[in-house]
Amino acid sequence: MNNTYKNGVFMEDYVEKQTKEVDVWKLKKYACKVKPIDIYTGKNIIVLNQDEAKEHDIYSGYRTTVTIDGRHMIALVDVSRDLVKPGEVGVFLDMMEAFKLRKGQIVSVIHMNRPESITYIKKKLDKGTLNNHEVKMIVDDIMQNRLSEGEIAAWISAAYINGFSDDEVISLAQATVESGDQLNLGKNPILDKHCIGGVAGNRTTMLVVPIIAAAGLYIPKTSSRSITSASGTADTMEVLADVTLGMEELRDIVKKAKGAIVWGGGMKLAPVDDKLIKIRHPLSLDPEGMLLASILGKKKSVGAKYVIIDIPVGRGVKVPYIERGNQLAKHFIKVGSMLGMKVEALITDGSEPVGYGIGPVLECVDVLDVLQGKGPEDLRHKSLLMTGKLLELCGKVRKDAGYDAARKLIDSGKAMAKFRQIIELQGGNPKIKQSDLEIGKYTHIVRSELNGSIFHIDNKVMAKIARIAGAPRDKGAGIKIEKFRGDRIEKGDALFTIYAESEAKLDYALKALKDLEPIELRKMLLGTMR
């Protein structure tokens, strides 16, 4: 076999050898010089010269294997007439860094066969039921970047339209766990909690974790950053401490403090789930089977045996009706049991924000206030309810005694002391006070132009205004709610205050507010605001 490099082509007729990672067609391969492209795409993509690629029967959207020094990288192809010349391969920064490529290096490009998992995706589109091997193959191909976004979207759509059997959910949950690292503390019991989302200001995690840890139980909490909200738990906790930690750091902190609150994306726990969420979110698709596998898979990856699931129900959140909430709760409990976990689901009121603050710093103020025995009563009550149920679920306290046990841990100051320990171990200042937190200095008070009573506060609209004002990137940006559902208001009363870290962003938020309706009065819209 002649491997002479000439005019960008390896002078060999066929690829005779297959790698362990991928199957390749016996087609001509050709060699190119690496040309870096100064863009991050979030995926493995290469760019080939259009005319040269066509000569080798490679077209836009095809899969290729890029090979150098015995290493094999799977990538999708884009083509261009001008961006790369014949004999070059354009490589985006994701691949340049991940595979330590250098400008001018010679790599070979091989046209790949279609992944086996495409057959299984089509089977699901045709209303078939996938077995464990087939689900695992799809997950493996996603993790190896063998599937395009369109192909992953097809699987998500099939799950949304045709649903998953319980066995498929279990297979996906197990494959989700196996797609990344797992936390093994060597301790028992391990507790965890999760909220399916949609409620602004709902920072119960930052209260549940220190209370549970103060009770002497282990709770290694991995949390998400914001996607569409004004702040995720990780964004809010980041105001107080570092949340981007590795697995060993998480293990050390939890062994010392029994609890931690970290960003799940900072470690390789269930990484396939991040890839699926990235596709699901723009499509606004949340198939129930994938939702269950995502949440419970992540809990299993940290070794959790006892889990509380918060299912907010109400207008404007993911679950609008109580009947749907009860159905989902039963499914969580059933699948959790099949995965070896004891799960309890709480149906909670999700019709309006929880707490006063919406945005990282403002939410931190609420959390610190509650731990000091004051602050928003709804946030305190919900956190105590969830913690109490978790204490009962694991057998720490008897049935119906959990709420009082959790309350005593706050009132005694033990929960606050534990929270400060967690903050310190995660690199923050354990002595931090509310007055140390920097709220955006540019503010505007939104006042009522009418008399009446508050009928509804829209979670999504409030979050949107807070985001336009700069949250969560600007930690001090957001909204503080002054009036709540059921409150009687008079013309001129303050409804909420917008905070921003720049005058321009505050101006953007006020302009957006003119076309938004964040608050409704009973039997009428609260129209004009100033």
Tokens of 272: 């396939």
Token output for 99:
């595979």
Contact present, 253 and 426 (Cβ < 8 Å): yes
Under 8 Å between Cβ of 479 and 466: yes
CA 108, 113, 117, 118 torsion-angle sign: positive
Could you tell me the two tokens for 305? 């045996």
Pairing of strands 30-37, 45-49: unpaired
Q: How many residues does the chain have?
A: 530
Other CB atoms closer than 10 Å to residue 253's CB: what's the count?
23
In the chain, % helix, strand, coil (3-state, to 5) comes to 40, 20, 40
> Nearest-CA neighbor of 74 among 113, 34, 33?
113
Count the Cβ atoms, other than its own, within 10 Å of residue 470: 26
H or E element: which one contains 111? strand 106-111
Question: Which position among 94, 286, 493, 507 bears the catalytic label?
Answer: 286
Helices marked H in 302-451: 322-338, 360-371, 377-393, 402-411, 414-425
| Distance from C-alpha of 289 to C-alpha of 520, rounded to nearest angstrom | 35
Q: Is residue 286 annotated as a catalytic residue, yes or no?
A: yes
Q: Which residues are catalytic?
A: 286
